[in-house]
C-alpha cells in the first residue's frame, strides 16, 4: 500500500518543483532569495528524513554534513570549478558519514540523538581550530555565481533529494529501515542486514546536505565555521519534518513551506520569536500530533 | 452667457486654479521626500557593548544634517531617515540584512555596520548588487583583496601598519623585551601576525607569548607568568572586556613594565572612569584627537553635549568620518550609484581627521597612530609629526 | 612548561572547575537516576541561575553568595512545578520504547530552545558580567581571585552536605535506593512519587546554584547553557549511573582534564576537549549507560 502512495506524491512534488523553476522570470532578486531558502530546506529535510524518519535514528547533528560541504567548496574556491567542487562536497560528507557510521550507529535511542549533536559540535570546534591555525577567522568568496544559478542548483538538489527519498521508500532498503524503526532486534532476527542498512541510510542522507552546504556557501559568500555549523539548522530540519509528517514524502515539503513562511515575516525583526515559535510547534507536535500534518490529513481522509 | 453664469465659471476656474497651485506646491514639498539610509548595527550580542560608539556618531550626524535642512543632493535638500536593523553581532545575519535593505527596502544609501567581521561579510553583497558603501570600523589586510568600487575603509589602523608602527615606537622608546598577550578574535590575531616579525626585526625579545579566548574572565595565571618574566613592555592585543580585566589584574599583581599597550578600550569614555589611576599612561590604537582641527573639536563638543560622554576616539571618529565623506560625495554626485562610486574613489574629502583620499579601498592620507591616556585624556603620541603630547613611561598604577 | 604544570595555580583552577561541574552534574544525575530522563534543558537552568544572580547583584546590590538560598529555592519551586505539571503525567504514559525516548529528548530540546530564546528576548543576547570579589589574593606565588575561591568553597561545601544527606538521612537513602533498583525500592515501601519529586527539586536547585556561582567568574548569556548540559552528561555517564560519589570524581577528572589540557595546548581547545570526551564516552558505551536497563519493549 505504501509504495503506491509514494509514487504519486513523488511525481506531484517533482511537478511543483519544475513549476518553481519559472520563478526567476517573474520575481525580484529578493523573492529569488526566498525561493533559494525554501529549496534549501526541502533538500535538507528530505535527506534527513531518509535516515531519521525511516529508521528512527533521529540525528540532531545533521548540520555537520552541511557544514563539511560548505567548507569543501570554500576551501577549494579559487582552485576548483564548481562542477568539481560541489560533487566533491557531497562525496566528502558521504565519506565522513561512512567513516563515523559504524561506531556511531551502534548507539541507540536518545543517546544517538545527543551523540549526533556532540559529533557536530566537535567537528565545528576542530574546524575552527584548523582554520585558526592557518590564520583564518573567516573566509570570503568573491565572484560567486548569481542568485538565479544558485536557485537552479538548489531546486535541482531538492528534486534529487525528493527522488532519492521516494526511491528508497519504495525499495527493500526503505522497508528494512522501517522494520528497524519498529523493532531493531526483531528485524535482525528476521534477516534484515541491520548494520548495512543503517550505514547506507546515513551515507545517503549525508551526501545531498553536503552539496547544499556548498551552494549555500556561495549564497552567503562568508564562511565562518562557528556560524555555518549552527545547531539551529539541525533543529529546524527536525522541526520541519515532524511538523509536516515524517512518514510521507510530502511531509518535509509541507513543513519546510510552513516554517519558511513564518520565518519570512520574522527573521529580520524578531528572530528569537521565530525560534520560540519553532520550539513551541515542535513540542506541540511531538506531544499531540506525532505523525505530523500529513499523518493527520491522511487520517482525516481515510475516516 | 449671463453675468451670473460667467461669474460662476470664473470663480470655478479660479477655484480650480487655486487648488491646482496649492496641490502642486504640496507636490513640490512632497517631492522632497526623505532620503533613506540603511544599515545594520550590533544592538545585541557580543559586540553590543562596542557598537554604541558608532551608532551615536551616526545619530549625531543625522541630527546635524537635518538641522541644516537636510542632505544636499544636487540642488535639493532632503531630510535623512535611517532604516536600521539589529544584526545581533552575527555577520551572516548582517549580510542578509544588507541584501534586504538593497533589494526589498530599496534604500537610497547605505552606512556601514560595526566591526571587521560584519564589513567583510557584507562586502560581497555590495559587490554583487553594485551598491557603494563607505566602511569605517573595520581593519584587516584582507579588505585590500576586495575590489574597489563598492566599499572603502576610512581607518588607518590596518594590522600590518600597526605591527610596523608599534615596533617602531617601542624601539624609539628603548624597549628591549616584551610580553605579548593576544585575544584570538581576528583583529588581534592579525596584528600579532605582523607584530611578531616586526619585533624580531627591531631586536625586541618576546619573553611571554600567550593567546586567550574572547570570553576570558581571569588572567591571573597568564599575568603571573608575565610578572615573573619582567619585560620592558606588555602588549595586550585585547578588546574592551578583556582590556579592563588586564588593567585591573595587572594592577593587582603589580606588573611594572614601563610601556603598556592595550589594543582597544582606552580610547573609549568609560575606560579611565572605570579604572581610575590604573589606566594612566596606557597606550592604545587611535589616530584622532579633538585637537586635530576645528571640525574635530566641534564634533567632540557636540557629541559630549548630546550623549553626556566623550566620543570614542577610535570608532566614533571613524564612523563620523564615513558620514562626512558620504555627505560630500552625495552633494556632488547625487544618488546615482555609478557617479557616487566615481566621486568616492577619486575625490578628496575634508573630515574631522583632516583630509581623506582613497587609493583602491584604503585611506592613504591618514597615518597610523597611537594614543596614550595622560591624566584621563587620550593624547596622540605617535607619529611624532602628528603628536599632541609626548610619550610618558608608565610609572605607577 | 613543567613549572606551569606543577604550579598550584593550575591545580586550584582545576579544582574550582571540577567542583562546579560536580554541582552542575549532580542535578542531572539525580533526575536521570530516578526517572531515566535525559534532561537536555539542564544547562539552561544553570544559565537562569546565573541571570538571577546577575540581576540580584546589579539591580539590588545583593551579593550572589547571599542570594544563593533564594535562587536555590526559586529553582526548586520551578522543579516542583515542572514535576507535578508535566513530568509525572509524561512518565505515566510514556512506554520505555527507545523511539519514544528519542522523541522525549526532542521535546526537551524544544523546551530548551524556547527557554534560551525567551531569555534572549527578555535579557537580550548581550553577555552580562559583573565585578564581585575580584581582588587578587596571593598565597606564595599563586594568585587567586576571591570569586573563584569563594565558588570553590561554596561548591565543595554544598557537595559535601548533599553527599552526607544521601548517605545518612533516610530520605537520601531512599533516593539512592530508587536510583539503584527501582522495583526493589517500591517493594521496601519507598514512596516513589515523593522521592522523584525530591530529586527534581534538588536537581533544579543545585543547577541554579552552580549557575549563580559561575556568574561570578564567567559572563552569562542566553545560549551559554549548552556546554554545561554536555559537561553534565559527560560526568554522569563517566561516573556511572546511580553513583553520586562516582559522578563527583568524574567531575573532578573533567575539571583536571580541561584545565591541564588547555594549559598544555591553548584555550582554543577547551571546547574540543569537552566535546571530544563527550563523543568518546558515548561511543564506548553504546547502551548509553547500563545494559541492565536495556531497552524494554
pLDDT in tens, B366-391: 999 999 999 888 999 998 888 889 99
Q: Is the dihedral of CA C2, C7, C12, C13 positive or negative?
A: negative
Cell of A35: 525561493
A274: Cβ contacts below 8 Å, ≥ 6 apart: A262, A263, A266, A267
Chains with ≥3 Cβ pairs under 8 A against C?
Answer: A, B
CA distance C45 to chain B (A): 20
Q: Which range, of A23-32, B159-168, C6-15, averages the lowest pLDDT?
A: C6-15
Distance of CA B134 to the CA centre of its chain: 11
Question: Which chain C residue is nearest to residue A107, measuring alpha carbons?
Answer: C286
Q: Is A226 on the interface with C (CB under 8 A)?
A: no
Q: Is the dihedral of CA A260, A263, A264, A268 positive or negative?
A: negative
- The pLDDT, as a whole number, for residue B185 is 81
Q: Are B281 and B374 in contact (CB under 8 A)?
A: yes
- The pLDDT, as a whole number, for residue A28 is 82
Cis status, amide bond into B383, omega within 30 of 0: yes
Distance of CA C59 to the CA centre of its chain: 26
Contact C107 A286 (CB under 8 A): yes
Q: Which phi and psi (to 5°) does residue A21 adopt?
A: -65, -20
- The pLDDT, as a whole number, for residue C4 is 57
Cβ contacts of A29 on chain B, cutoff 8 Å? 103, 129
- The pLDDT, as a whole number, for residue A1 is 45
Chain segment C124-151, per-residue pLDDT in tens:
878 888 888 877 787 777 778 888 889 9
A224: Cβ contacts below 8 Å, ≥ 6 apart: A137, A138, A139, B91, B92, B117
**Stretch A266-273: mean pLDDT, rounded?**
86
Confidence tier at B24 by pLDDT (50, 70, 90)? very low
Q: Which range, of B75-84, B136-145, B246-255, C91-100, averages the lowest pLDDT?
A: C91-100
User: How large is the C-alpha radius of gyration of chain B?
Assistant: 25
- The pLDDT, as a whole number, for residue B34 is 93
What's the rounded Cα separation, in Å, for the pair B183 and C269? Answer: 14
Half-sphere exposure of A198 (CA within 13 A, CB side): 23
**Stretch B179-192: mean pLDDT, rounded?**
88
Confidence tier at C177 by pLDDT (50, 70, 90)? confident
CA distance A66 to chain C (A): 19
10 Å CB burial of residue A235 (0-12, 13-18, 19+) is buried
Q: How far is CA B243 from CA B101, B165, B374, in A?
A: 35, 21, 17
What's the rounded Cα separation, in Å, for the pair A103 and A99? Answer: 8
- The pLDDT, as a whole number, for residue A212 is 97
What's the rounded Cα separation, in Å, for the pair B270 and C180? Answer: 56
Q: Is C124 on the interface with A (CB under 8 A)?
A: no
Chain segment A243-263, per-residue pLDDT in tens:
999 888 999 999 999 999 999
- The pLDDT, as a whole number, for residue B21 is 53
Instruction: Output DSSP code: residue C83.
Output: I
Contact A267 B184 (CB under 8 A): no
Question: Which chain A residue is nearest to residue B145, measuring alpha carbons?
Answer: A142
Chain segment C104-131, per-residue pLDDT in tens:
788 888 999 999 999 998 988 788 888 8
Q: Are B111 and B59 in contact (CB under 8 A)?
A: no
Q: Are B63 and B82 in contact (CB under 8 A)?
A: no
Nearest by CB to residue A220, choosing from B95, B103, B129, is: B95
Q: State yes or no: pLDDT of A178 exceeds 50.
A: yes
Query: Which H or E run includes B71?
Result: strand B71-73
Q: State yes or no: pLDDT of C52 exceeds 70.
A: yes
Q: Is B360 on the interface with C (CB under 8 A)?
A: no
Cell of B78: 532632503
- Do B35-157+291-363 and B159-285+370-386 have matching folds? yes
Cβ contacts of C38 on chain A, cutoff 8 Å? 110, 114
Instruction: Output DSSP code: residue C128.
Output: B
What's the rounded Cα separation, in Å, for the pair B137 and B158? Answer: 11
Q: Is B313 helix (H, G, I), strand (E, B) or coil?
A: coil
Q: Which phi and psi (to 5°) does residue C98 adopt?
A: -60, -35
Cell of B276: 581610575
Buried b (16+ CB within 10 A) or exposed e, B240-277: bbbbbbbbbbbbbbebbbbbbbbbbbbbbbebbeebee
Confidence tier at A295 by pLDDT (50, 70, 90)? confident
Cβ contacts of C104 on chain A, cutoff 8 Å? 110, 286
Q: How far is CA B60 from CA A137, B154, B252, B305, in A?
A: 33, 18, 39, 11
What's the rounded Cα separation, in Å, for the pair C34 and C244? Answer: 12
**Separate counts of helices (H) and strands (E) for chain C:** 13, 2
Instruction: Output DSSP code: residue B384.
Output: G
Q: Is A268 on the interface with B (CB under 8 A)?
A: yes
The pTM assigned to this predicted structure is: 0.85
Domain limits, chain B: 35-157+291-363, 159-285+370-386
Confidence tier at B143 by pLDDT (50, 70, 90)? confident
- The pLDDT, as a whole number, for residue C292 is 37
- The pLDDT, as a whole number, for residue B15 is 62
Q: Which phi and psi (to 5°) does residue B377 adopt?
A: -110, 130
Q: Is B304 on the interface with C (CB under 8 A)?
A: no
Q: Which range, of A25-29, C48-52, C90-94, averages the lowest pLDDT?
A: C90-94
Q: State yes or no: pLDDT of C35 exceeds 80.
A: no
Query: Which H or E run includes A59?
Result: none
Q: Is C228 on the interface with A (CB under 8 A)?
A: no
Half-sphere exposure of A214 (CA within 13 A, CB side): 28
Superfamily of domain B159-285+370-386: Response regulator (3.40.50.2300)
Cell of B174: 628603548
Confidence tier at C101 by pLDDT (50, 70, 90)? low
Please give the interface size between B and C, counted as residue pairs whose CB atoms are below 8 Å apart.
61
The pLDDT mean for chain B works out to 88
Contact B45 C126 (CB under 8 A): yes
Instruction: Output DSSP code: residue C143.
Output: E
Q: State yes or no: pLDDT of B200 exceeds 80.
A: yes
Q: Are C59 and C263 in contact (CB under 8 A)?
A: no
Q: How far is CA B41 from CA A265, A269, B117, B129, C98, in A?
A: 20, 13, 12, 20, 46
Nearest by CB to residue A183, choosing from C38, C114, C297, is: C297
Contact A220 B193 (CB under 8 A): no
Confidence tier at B20 by pLDDT (50, 70, 90)? low
Q: Is C266 on the interface with B (CB under 8 A)?
A: yes
- The pLDDT, as a whole number, for residue C108 is 86
- The pLDDT, as a whole number, for residue C105 is 83
For β-strands B354-359 and B348-351, DSSP reports them as: antiparallel
**Stretch B57-76: mean pLDDT, rounded?**
93
The strand pairing partners of B205, in sequence order, are B177
What's the rounded Cα separation, in Å, for the pair A250 and C191? Answer: 48
Q: State yes or no: pLDDT of C96 exceeds 60.
A: no
Chain segment B104-129, per-residue pLDDT in tens:
999 999 999 998 889 988 988 898 89
Cell of B395: 610609572
Contact B91 A138 (CB under 8 A): yes
Listed in sequence order, the DSSP H helices in B131-182 are 159-172
Q: Is B282 helix (H, G, I), strand (E, B) or coil?
A: strand
- The pLDDT, as a whole number, for residue B132 is 94
- The pLDDT, as a whole number, for residue C289 is 44
What's the rounded Cα separation, in Å, for the pair A131 and A225? Answer: 8
Cell of C12: 586550584
Cell of B3: 453675468
Q: Are A213 and A66 in contact (CB under 8 A)?
A: yes
Higher-confidence residue: C225 or B241? C225
Q: Is C282 on the interface with A (CB under 8 A)?
A: yes
Q: Which phi and psi (to 5°) does residue A190 adopt?
A: -80, -5
C191: Cβ contacts below 8 Å, ≥ 6 apart: C174
10 Å CB burial of residue C11 (0-12, 13-18, 19+) is middle
Best of B144, B149, B186, B192 to mutate (most A CBs within 10 Å, chain A): B186
Q: Are C251 and C155 in contact (CB under 8 A)?
A: no
Question: Which chain B residue is nearest to residue C262, measuring alpha carbons?
Answer: B212
What's the rounded Cα separation, in Å, for the pair C268 and A125? Answer: 9
What's the rounded Cα separation, in Å, for the pair B350 and A181? Answer: 71
CA distance C168 to chain B (A): 38
- The pLDDT, as a whole number, for residue B19 is 57
What's the rounded Cα separation, in Å, for the pair C100 and C38? Answer: 12
Best of B84, B116, B124, B214 to mutate (most A CBs within 10 Å, chain A): B124
**Stretch C249-277: mean pLDDT, rounded?**
82
Q: Is C125 on the interface with B (CB under 8 A)?
A: yes
What's the rounded Cα separation, in Å, for the pair B38 and B84? Answer: 6
Strands annotated E in B127-242: 133-135, 151-153, 177-183, 205-212, 233-237
Confidence tier at C209 by pLDDT (50, 70, 90)? very high
What's the rounded Cα separation, in Å, for the pair B128 and A251? Answer: 35
Q: Are C177 and C196 in contact (CB under 8 A)?
A: no
Q: Is B91 on the interface with A (CB under 8 A)?
A: yes
Contact A140 B97 (CB under 8 A): no
Residue identified by cell 522501517 is: A178
Listed in sequence order, the DSSP H helices in B104-185 are 116-129, 159-172
Cell of B97: 540584512
- CATH 2.30.22.10 for domain B35-157+291-363, yes or no, is no
The strand pairing partners of B261, in sequence order, are B235, B283
Nearest by CB to residue B224, choosing from C9, C126, C267, is: C9
Q: Are B343 and B131 in contact (CB under 8 A)?
A: no
What's the rounded Cα separation, in Å, for the pair C277 and C261? Answer: 12
- The pLDDT, as a whole number, for residue B29 is 47
Higher-confidence residue: C291 or C204? C204
Chain segment A206-245, per-residue pLDDT in tens:
999 999 999 999 988 889 898 899 999 999 999 999 999 9
For β-strands C136-139 and C142-145, DSSP reports them as: antiparallel
Q: Are B94 and B122 in contact (CB under 8 A)?
A: yes
Best of C266, C267, C272, C274 to mutate (most B CBs within 10 Å, chain B): C267
Amino acid at each position: 500500500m505504501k509504495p503506491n502512495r509514494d509514487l504519486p506524491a513523488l511525481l506531484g512534488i517533482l511537478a511543483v518543483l519544475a513549476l518553481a523553476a519559472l520563478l526567476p522570470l517573474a520575481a525580484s532578486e529578493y523573492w529569488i532569495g526566498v525561493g533559494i531558502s525554501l529549496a534549501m530546506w526541502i533538500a535538507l529535510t528530505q535527506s534527513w528524513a531518509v535516515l531519521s524518519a525511516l529508521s528512527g535514528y533521529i540525528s540532531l547533528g545533521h548540520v555537520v554534513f552541511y557544514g563539511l560541504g560548505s567548507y569543501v567548496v570554500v576551501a577549494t574556491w579559487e582552485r576548483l570549478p564548481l562542477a568539481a567542487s560541489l560533487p566533491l562536497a557531497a562525496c566528502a560528507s558521504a565519506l565522513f558519514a561512512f567513516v563515523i557510521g559504524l561506531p556511531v550507529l551502534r548507539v541507540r535511542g536518545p543517546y544517538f540523538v545527543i551523540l549526533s549533536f556532540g559529533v557536530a559540535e566537535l567537528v565545528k570546534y576542530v574546524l575552527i581550530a584548523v582554520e585558526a591555525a592557518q590564520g583564518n577567522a573567516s573566509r570570503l568568496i568573491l565572484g560567486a555565481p548569481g542568485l538565479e544559478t544558485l536557485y537552479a542548483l538548489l531546486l535541482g538538489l531538492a528534486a534529487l533529494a525528493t527522488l532519492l527519498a521516494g526511491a528508497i521508500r519504495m525499495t527493500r532498503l526503505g522497508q528494512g529501515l522501517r522494520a528497524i524503526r519498529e523493532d531493531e532486534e526483531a528485524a535482525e532476527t528476521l534477516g534484515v542486514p541491520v548494520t548495512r542498512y543503517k550505514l547506507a541510510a546515513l551515507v545517503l542522507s549525508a551526501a545531498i546536505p553536503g552539496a547544499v552546504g556548498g551552494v549555500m556557501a556561495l549564497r552567503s559568500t562568508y564562511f565562518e565555521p562557528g556560524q555555518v555549523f549552527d545547531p539551529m539548522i539541525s533543529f529546524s530540519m527536525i522541526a520541519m519534518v515532524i511538523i509536516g509528517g515524517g512518514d510521507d514524502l510530502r511531509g518535509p515539503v509541507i513543513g519546510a513551506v510552513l516554517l519558511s513562511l513564518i520565518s519570512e515575516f520574522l527573521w529580520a525583526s524578531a528572530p528569537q520569536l521565530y525560534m520560540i515559535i519553532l520550539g513551541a510547534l515542535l513540542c506541540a507536535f511531538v506531544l499531540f500530533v506525532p505523525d505530523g500534518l500529513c499523518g493527520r490529513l491522511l487520517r482525516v481522509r481515510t475516516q | 452667457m449671463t453675468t451670473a453664469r460667467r461669474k460662476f465659471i470664473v470663480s470655478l476656474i479660479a477655484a480650480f486654479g487655486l487648488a491646482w497651485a496649492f496641490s502642486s506646491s504640496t507636490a513640490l514639498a512632497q517631492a522632497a521626500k526623505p532620503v533613506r539610509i540603511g544599515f545594520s548595527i550590533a544592538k545585541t550580542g557580543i559586540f553590543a557593548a562596542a557598537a554604541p560608539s558608532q551608532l551615536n556618531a551616526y545619530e549625531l550626524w543625522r541630527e546635524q544634517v537635518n538641522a541644516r535642512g537636510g542632505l544636499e543632493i544636487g540642488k535639493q535638500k532632503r531630510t535623512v531617515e535611517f532604516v536600521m536593523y539589529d544584526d545581533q553581532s552575527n555577520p551572516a545575519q548582517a549580510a542578509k540584512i544588507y541584501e534586504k535593505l538593497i533589494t526589498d527596502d530599496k534604500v537610497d544609501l547605505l552606512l556601514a555596520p560595526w566591526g571587521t567581521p560584519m564589513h567583510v561579510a557584507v562586502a560581497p553583497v555590495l559587490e554583487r548588487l553594485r551598491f557603494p558603501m563607505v566602511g569605517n570600523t573595520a581593519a584587516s589586510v584582507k579588505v585590500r583583496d576586495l575590489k574597489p568600487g563598492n566599499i572603502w575603509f576610512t581607518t588607518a589602523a590596518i594590522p600590518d601598519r600597526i605591527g610596523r608602527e608599534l615596533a617602531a615606537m617601542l624601539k624609539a622608546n628603548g624597549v628591549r623585551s616584551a610580553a605579548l598577550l593576544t585575544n584570538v578574535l581576528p583583529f588581534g590575531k592579525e596584528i600579532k601576525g605582523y607584530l611578531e616579525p616586526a619585533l624580531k626585526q627591531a631586536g625586541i625579545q618576546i619573553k611571554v607569548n600567550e593567546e586567550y579566548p574572547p570570553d576570558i574572565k581571569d588572567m591571573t595565571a597568564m599575568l603571573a607568568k608575565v610578572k615573573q618574566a619582567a619585560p620592558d613592555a606588555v602588549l595586550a592585543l585585547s578588546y574592551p572586556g578583556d582590556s579592563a580585566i588586564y588593567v585591573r589584574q595587572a594592577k593587582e599583581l603589580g606588573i611594572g613594565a614601563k610601556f603598556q599597550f592595550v589594543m582597544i578600550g582606552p580610547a573609549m569614555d568609560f575606560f579611565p572612569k572605570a579604572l581610575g589611576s590604573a589606566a594612566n599612561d596606557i597606550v592604545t590604537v587611535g589616530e584622532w584627537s579633538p585637537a586635530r582641527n576645528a571640525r574635530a573639536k566641534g564634533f567632540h563638543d557636540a557629541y559630549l553635549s548630546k550623549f553626556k560622554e566623550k566620543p570614542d576616539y577610535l570608532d566614533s571618529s571613524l564612523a563620523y568620518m564615513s558620514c562626512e565623506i558620504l555627505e560630500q560625495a552625495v552633494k556632488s554626485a547625487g544618488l546615482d550609484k555609478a557617479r557616487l562610486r566615481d566621486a568616492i574613489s577619486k575625490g578628496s574629502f575634508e573630515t574631522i581627521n583632516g583630509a581623506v583620499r582613497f587609493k583602491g579601498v584604503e585611506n592613504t592620507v591618514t597615518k597610523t597612530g597611537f594614543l596614550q591616556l595622560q591624566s584621563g585624556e587620550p593624547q596622540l603620541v605617535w607619529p611624532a609629526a602628528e603628536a599632541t603630547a609626548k610619550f610618558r613611561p608608565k610609572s605607577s598604577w | 612548561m613543567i613549572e606551569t604544570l606543577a604550579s598550584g595555580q593550575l591545580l586550584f583552577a582545576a579544582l574550582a572547575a571540577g567542583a562546579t561541574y560536580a554541582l552542575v552534574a549532580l542535578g542531572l544525575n539525580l533526575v536521570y537516576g530516578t526517572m531515566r530522563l535525559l534532561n537536555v534543558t539542564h544547562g539552561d537552568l544553570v544559565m537562569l541561575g546565573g541571570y538571577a544572580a546577575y540581576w540580584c547583584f546589579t539591580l539590588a546590590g545583593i551579593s550572589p553568595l547571599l542570594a544563593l538560598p533564594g535562587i536555590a529555592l526559586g529553582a526548586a519551586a520551578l522543579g516542583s512545578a515542572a514535576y507535578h505539571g508535566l513530568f509525572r503525567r509524561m512518565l505515566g504514559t510514556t512506554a520505555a520504547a527507545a523511539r519514544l525516548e528519542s522523541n522525549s529528548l526532542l521535546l526537551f530540546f524544544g523546551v530548551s530552545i524556547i527557554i534560551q530564546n525567551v531569555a534572549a528576548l527578555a535579557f537580550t543576547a548581550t553577555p552580562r558580567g559583573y565585578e564581585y570579589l575580584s581582588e587578587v589574593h596571593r598565597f606564595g606565588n599563586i594568585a587567586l581571585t576571591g570569586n573563584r575561591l569563594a565558588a570553590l568553597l561554596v561548591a565543595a561545601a554544598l557537595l559535601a552536605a548533599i553527599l552526607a544527606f544521601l548517605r545518612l538521612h533516610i530520605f537520601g537513602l531512599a533516593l539512592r535506593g530508587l536510583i539503584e533498583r527501582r522495583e526493589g525500592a517500591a517493594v521496601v515501601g519507598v514512596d516513589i512519587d515523593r522521592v522523584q519529586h525530591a530529586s527534581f527539586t534538588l536537581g533544579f536547585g543545585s543547577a541554579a546554584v552552580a549557575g549563580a556561582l559561575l556568574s561570578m567568574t564567567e559572563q552569562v548569556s542566553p545560549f551559554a547553557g549548552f556546554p554545561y548540559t554536555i559537561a553534565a552528561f559527560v560526568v554522569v555517564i563517566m561516573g556511572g549511573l546511580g553513583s553520586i560519589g562516582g559522578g563527583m570524581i568524574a567531575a573532578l577528572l573533567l575539571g583536571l582534564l580541561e584545565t591541564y589540557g588547555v594549559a598544555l595546548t591553548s584555550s582554543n581547545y577547551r571546547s574540543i576537549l569537552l566535546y571530544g570526551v563527550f563523543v568518546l564516552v558515548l561511543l564506548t558505551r553504546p547502551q548509553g549507560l547500563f545494559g541492565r536497563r536495556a531497552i524494554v519493549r
